[in-house]
Amino acid sequence: MHILTDKMDQTIAKIRDFLLAGLGDSMPDGVITVIILAGIALTACVAYWVCKGLLHVLGIAIDRTPTKWDDDLLDDRFMRSVSMLAPALVVNWLLPAFMLASETGYIRWIKVLTSFYILWAAVRIIVIFIGNVYTAMSHRKRTRPYAVKGIFQMLKLIIIALGVIVAISILIGKEPVAILTALGASAAILMLVFKDTILGLVASVQLTANKMVHRGDWIIADKHGINGEVLDVSLTTVKVRNWDNSVSTIPPYALITESFRNYTPMQVSGGRRVERSIYIDMESVGFLSDGELRRLAGSGMISSDELPKASRVVNLTLFRQYLDRYLSTHKSVNQSMTYMVRQMEPTPSGLPLQLYFFIRRTAWKEFETLQADIFDHVYAVVNEFGLRIYQTPSGHDLRRLGRGDFGKAN
């Protein structure tokens, strides 16, 4: 490789000497310099189009491969950014070889500008490639849910920051390490300026590593009034579309330092919990007569083998047993999860009888429909056991009480 480089340098020196010998007597040095610069610029343009053509052929080959990862990583935008690097490399290589030592005054600034361009092109290539890696992950079903956007954004910021430091070192002629040392003295100020960015990076890493939240998750953060689907998790914000179609944003570290609920595990578990009570009027609780027991057995509310054991049975007891059997045979109730009917502590509004079970359907609309169907049946069957649901008297009830027509038909 070194031998090839030396031979190319010797060839360039011969071309330079030929131009100076052939044009030096007839043209001023300034004109010769312009001609050489024009030739270098033309060579740089040729290098750009040659590189672009080669990368275009490479792009066609990539499109024909069976895998799709290379399509996302090496897209047209990445190829164009790589081809833009070729002319700067050509200029940076040919310029010092063709120019004389007496011309270093303005050649230095041309080299500085060329170095800036190379640095910009290199940073752009790396940033585009990092963005393509994130795009490739977002296109894959397995990696799409991971909240890694903030990490990729931070990588881009680091690359851009390093590019700025190198650019300053080129401009002032000092090593990048010296600039980093100077920045270290002002670390406290930088920490203050980039506080949200740093906290966002740490939070993004924690959210991803602990699998706390992904795009598409249903989360609730009561303190921030959030109840909806996660649209995006970036370096500085978590964007959530609430169920009223409004969009809320909170910083990622708020999900780390404060409590929130993620309902996605519930959605994939195959059961959504119902924990709901009906309030029984305690004055309606009592023993059932033999005739009432036979009526309940005839209508299927209790089994016939319970009749001999049912003397002096409380109607609320049979009602709880009936509801327990009802839940155990209902096709929408997940029998592999806990289900029960339990009596809670009495309240001034009646005796709470709570139904605790899980419905197989977790989608919101289906869940609400099935839950309503179950409690419609509960409300309809409670009177069969001689029980009443407690209800606070309404204005209509008070007017009937004033007229003394309770017990009459409406």
DSSP three-state, residue 245 = coil
Which pLDDT belongs to residue 326?
A: 92
Q: Which of 188-192, 275-279, 326-330, 375-379 has the least mean pLDDT?
A: 188-192
Domains of the chain: 2-144 (no CATH), 171-269 (2.30.30.60), 270-396 (3.30.70.100)
Q: Mean pLDDT over residues 177-186, rounded? A: 64
Note the pTM of the prediction, 2 decimals.
0.53
Residue among 191, 169, 192 nearest 180 (CA): 169
Higher-confidence position of 258 and 91: 258
Which pLDDT belongs to residue 4?
A: 43
Higher-confidence position of 108 and 375: 375
Is the pLDDT score of 27 beyond 60?
no
Centre a 10 Å sphere on the Cβ of residue 85 and count the other Cβ atoms it contains: 19
Give the HSE-up count for residue 122: Cα atoms under 13 Å, Cβ half-sphere.
14
Q: Which helix (H) or strand (E) holds 138?
A: helix 104-138
Spatial contact of 300 and 311, defined as CB atoms under 8 Å apart: no
Which pLDDT belongs to residue 410?
A: 44
Which pLDDT belongs to residue 44?
A: 74
Spatial contact of 88 and 111, defined as CB atoms under 8 Å apart: no
Amino acid at 386: G
**Per-residue pLDDT tens digits for 43-70:** 777 777 877 777 777 777 777 777 777 6
Q: Which helix (H) or strand (E) holds 230?
A: strand 226-233
Between helices 315-329 and 364-381, what is the axis angle to 10°?
Answer: 150
Distance CA 363, CA 164 (A): 50
Higher-confidence position of 29 and 49: 49
**Per-residue pLDDT tens digits for 117-168:** 778 888 888 888 888 888 887 777 777 666 677 677 778 878 888 888 778 7
Q: Which of 93-102, 250-259, 278-287, 351-360 has the least mean pLDDT?
A: 93-102
Q: Which of 28-32, 172-176, 235-239, 343-347 has the least mean pLDDT?
A: 28-32
Q: Mean pLDDT over residues 282-306, rounded? A: 81
Map tokens 């960015």 to a residue: 197
Which pLDDT belongs to residue 404?
A: 62
Distance CA 237, CA 256 (A): 13
